[in-house]
């Protein structure tokens, strides 16, 4: 049976652990210049409707370094842009490639692709979730802190797609997640309630960034206006001004706090230049880990001789 990763709720704790273990092995092998051929003969399609630097390149590099090939498809250059139904496109692409990573606006698009495809569908970001980002981010936390549990993880900023995936991860792994978002920009209550109902982990929400940052081991932020919200940029800049991750905020955190950002960053908006470039920032390692985590994901979902167990 094929397996999709549309949200982190598609994974059990054991699946996360398996991905962390394998991505660390693959990273160590990469450092030594050793590449497995686990995706030899396999083709990954990437169907993107929004811009991407890291996710696209790390997925393409991952598949190529493991012996496979990637095909990038800009959605606007396909017949989808001329109203060919998703259910038809999904069945056709399933005949050509062995897996499909999709970056799009509405989350229902990836759900519909998953329903009609016979190949694994990987959510490479929707307006609602960014699951693979958080998998590689937790890998970075493990590398920096040796664990992901018993750490205060603070989210400071918009209650957006990345925040939603953090909430999902918290409910599967039992994380202590403290989110600070302005009123009116909180995460979707349905997502938070569902996560809290699982009874695993602690999800706290405040509108005070200093409360979230206090004694935090990890401070994470993201853009104030996500892709598709460009028209709200001016208004959002005013509302989010007190939510900037700057040196004043990180002084409240644990002295070994790591500062994370999925990037692209807007210096002087959600994060100050000195913090982004400062000693607590791990953003470049965080970015690199997308490559290693994507390799682990692709191997498990579409690797040679593997059944998709995740």
CB 203 within 8 A of CB 243: no
Q: Which of the stretches 5-13, 71-79, 170-178, 223-231 binds ligand NVA when contact is defined by CB under 6 A? A: 223-231
Q: How many residues bind ligand CP (CB under 6 A)?
A: 9
CB of residue 133 to ligand CP, shortest distance in Å:
5
Give me the sign of the Cα torsion angle 18, 23, 28, 33: positive
What separation in angstroms does the CA of 300 have from each of 38, 286, 294? 10, 21, 10
Closer CB to ligand NVA, 104 or 117, in the complex: 104
Region 172-231 residues binding ligand CP, contact defined as CB under 6 A: none
Binding residue for ligand CP, selected from 38, 55, 123, 161, defined by CB under 6 A: 55
Number of alpha helices (DSSP H) and beta strands (DSSP E) in the chain = 12, 9
Residues 6+ apart with CB under 8 A from 173: 13, 16, 138, 148, 149, 200, 201
Residue labelled with tokens 């160590």: 28
Binding residue for ligand NVA, selected from 222, 269, 270, 299, defined by CB under 6 A: 222
DSSP 8-state symbol, 83: T
Residue 22 in tokens: 């394998």
Q: Which of the stretches 17-25, 47-55, 141-149, 292-300 binds ligand CP when contact is defined by CB under 6 A? A: 47-55
| Contact flag: residue 226 with ligand NVA (CB under 6 A) | yes
Closer CB to ligand NVA, 161 or 168, in the complex: 161
Binding residue for ligand NVA, selected from 245, 262, 271, 310, defined by CB under 6 A: 262
Query: What residue ranges bind ligand CP (CB under 6 A)?
Result: 52-56, 125, 133, 262-263
């Amino acid at each position: 049976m094929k397996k999709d990763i549309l949200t982190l709720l598609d994974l059990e704790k054991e699946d996360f652990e398996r991905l962390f273990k394998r991505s660390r092995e693959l990273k160590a092998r990469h450092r030594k210049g050793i590449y497995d051929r686990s995706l030899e003969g396999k083709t990954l399609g990437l169907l993107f409707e929004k811009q991407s630097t890291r996710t696209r390149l790390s997925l393409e590099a991952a598949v190529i370094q493991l012996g496979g090939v990637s095909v990038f498809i800009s959605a606007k250059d396909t017949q989808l842009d001329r109203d060919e139904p998703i259910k038809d496109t999904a069945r056709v692409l399933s005949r050509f490639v062995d897996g499909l990573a999709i970056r799009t606006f509405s989350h229902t698009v990836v759900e519909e692709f998953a329903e009609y495809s016979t190949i694994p569908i990987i959510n490479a970001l929707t307006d609602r979730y960014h699951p693979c980002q958080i998998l590689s981010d937790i890998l970075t936390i493990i590398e920096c802190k040796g664990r992901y549990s018993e750490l205060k993880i603070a989210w400071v900023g918009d209650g957006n797609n990345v925040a939603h995936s953090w909430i999902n991860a918290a409910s599967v792994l039992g994380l202590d997640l403290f989110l600070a978002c302005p009123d009116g920009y909180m995460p979707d209550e349905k997502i938070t309630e569902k996560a809290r109902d699982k009874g695993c982990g602690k999800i706290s929400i405040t509108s005070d960034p200093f409360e979230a940052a206090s004694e935090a081991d990890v401070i994470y932020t993201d853009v104030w206006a996500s892709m598709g919200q460009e028209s709200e940029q001016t208004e959002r800049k005013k509302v989010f001004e007190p939510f900037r991750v700057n040196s004043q905020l990180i002084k409240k955190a644990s002295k070994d706090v790591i500062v994370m950002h999925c990037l692209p960053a807007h210096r002087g908006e959600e994060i100050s230049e000195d913090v982004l470039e400062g000693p607590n920032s791990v953003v470049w390692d965080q970015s690199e880990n997308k490559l290693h985590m994507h390799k682990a994901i692709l191997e498990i979902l579409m690797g040679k001789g593997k059944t998709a167990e995740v």
